[in-house]
Amino acid sequence: MPYLYVYIWVRIHVVAPIAAQNDMGVCDAIRHNAPVGKPTVMSVPHLPKVAGIDSMVPVSTHTAAPTGGMTSTPPAPGTFIQDRLAGWVSDLTTLHELTERLTATSTLDSALPELLAAGAALVGAGRGLLILEPADGGGPARTVGLGLEHAELGHIETVPRSATAYGRFLDGLPDSDAPLASPDILGDAGLDPRCREVAARLGYAASYAQPLATEATGRLGAAVWLYDEPAEPLERQCHLVEVYARFAAEYLARLLELERARAHAAVLAEELLPSRLPRIPGVRLAARHRAAPGGGGDWYDALPLPDDALGLSVGSAGGSGPAALAAMGRLRAGLRAYAVMEGEDPVAVLSDLELLLRLTEPARSATALYAYCEPGRRTVVLAGAGHAPPLVTGDRRTEFIETTLSAPLGMLSCWEAPSVEFTPRSGETVLFYTDGLLRRTGATMDRAFARLHAAAAGVPKALRQDPGAVADHVLRAVLPDGADRSDRTEDIALLAARFD
């Protein structure tokens, strides 16, 4: 008996128009707030970033109502599957774009506003605030706002902490570890009166709070998004923001660990430098130090010597991080010892320092400059090992002090270079600095030197009496974007000596 085989082919097309038709408003808000240009389909390598998405989230399957006088046609085979797949692709694309934008940040100061804005787009809110307050108490603690001024954030903080969803979560109160929606703040008599008062003053009527936590670190903080009218996010929106918040919390935990490491490195760097500068008749000193986020090896030092003499030094140990900090501490301590024994001969001091470096750390190099000053006679004898020349500035001149060319310490089998002697005039300031000041300009070395010269020559006459004011002016002029930016990798050490 012959058999009859029937083959049914169902072809499913997932295209952007279908995804847009079945979107419930979340992606429209995100595309309105996010930059254009991202692909509309998620690429395979990025799928693990949103692996937590629940494939069972319901997606709208409604169709347009039939017009009068016309009979509705049954949906084509596979329409329901098309709609569901289109919704999943839209959600995956949305989360992919937002996680990409978050991972493009490198500091807490840039990541927190990005997280807050992404969550607002996901839940359809216009304003919000994010409180970072790690449960271990190690800090840092931050509060950032979206669409809220500093004074408005202050008004919100006047609400009793236990009466707020984020406060209950941060304090670890029972039943406070899940998202909480307040769809009608003004009409909810069960809320603290202060909550309704502040909401009425600031013009918001509903809120949605999302905790931020990881299994490893515990509570990190909480985000709250505010609506101008009574509202509550849809189930799909809640699911998306929860998935995003889980990823964001893990990323914040890594940034938090990095920020704490940077803070510890900065504290260590400051502890390795002089706590105060000596007071020697005939000269006034000021110093400025800016450590790189990862910790660098730049130092400055001022050491009182017999007969009212003074030893000044700046230098930089190669590398970055804790190893460079440790090397910097050893080199500075060694230089101080050699300066006490034979400080009047800068060449001998640097020769001994080079021998110490070669014997104890043969794989490391360093630059250094040491000056022996006699303020009473206004004479300075100095020698440099691969270091930038000092700069003298006053009312009548601004010029670099020419030093002999020499290699950095640790580069040759035996270092030696002649010293240079010069006499600063009364009222002039000598600037000793590390190469980080020049490199942070981002310009070529010739242009960086020219910028430094112009900055020193442009110090107002009223500021020239104070070496600290001179140093601050030079930093502002050479680095107009700021010397404290966290995206730089070089230290800055600047030592100013004004001779009376």
Give the 3-state secondary structure of 349-413: HHHHHHHHHHHHCCCCCEEEEEEEEECCCCEEEEEEECCCCCEEECCCCEEECCCCCCCCECCCC
Which is it for the CA torsion 129, 134, 137, 139, positive or negative? negative
CB 315 within 8 A of CB 338: no
- Rounded-to-5 percentages of helix, strand, coil across the chain: 40, 20, 40
CATH number of 107-271: 3.30.450.40
Amino acid identity of residue 70, one-letter, is M
Tokens in use for 9?
């082919």
Determine whether 57 is exposed, middle or buried from the number of CB atoms within 10 Å of its CB (0-12, 13-18, 19+).
middle
Q: Which helix (H) or strand (E) holds 117?
A: helix 108-123
**Structure tokens belonging to residue 365:** 């190099």
Q: What is the pLDDT of residue 73?
A: 65
- 3-class secondary structure, 285: strand
Question: Is the CA virtual torsion 160, 166, 170, 176 positive or negative?
Answer: positive
CA distance 332 to 353: 9
CA dist., res. 184 & res. 190, Å (int) = 11
Place of tokens 């500021």: 463
Report domain 277-499's class: alpha beta
Q: Whole-model pTM above 0.75?
A: no
Domains of the chain, residue spans: 1-52+77-104, 107-271, 277-499
pLDDT for residue 19: 35
Which residues in the chain land under pLDDT 50?
Answer: 1-70
Same fold, 107-271 and 277-499: no
Quick check: bond before 322 cis, omega within 30?
Answer: no
On whether the CB atoms of residues 344 and 319 are closer than 8 A, the answer is no
Q: Which two tokens stand for residue 495?
A: 């030592």
Give the per-residue pLDDT at 85.
79
**Residue matched to tokens 């803070």:** 263
**Angle, helices 150-157/193-202, rounded to nearest 10 degrees:** 170
d(CA 42, CA 8): 29
221-241: b (≥16 Cβ within 10 Å) or e: bbbbbbbeeebbbeebbbbbb
Which H/E stretch holds residue 262?
helix 235-271
Task: Give whole-number Cα distances, 339 to 280, 310, 333, 418, 456, in Å.
Answer: 16, 10, 10, 17, 29
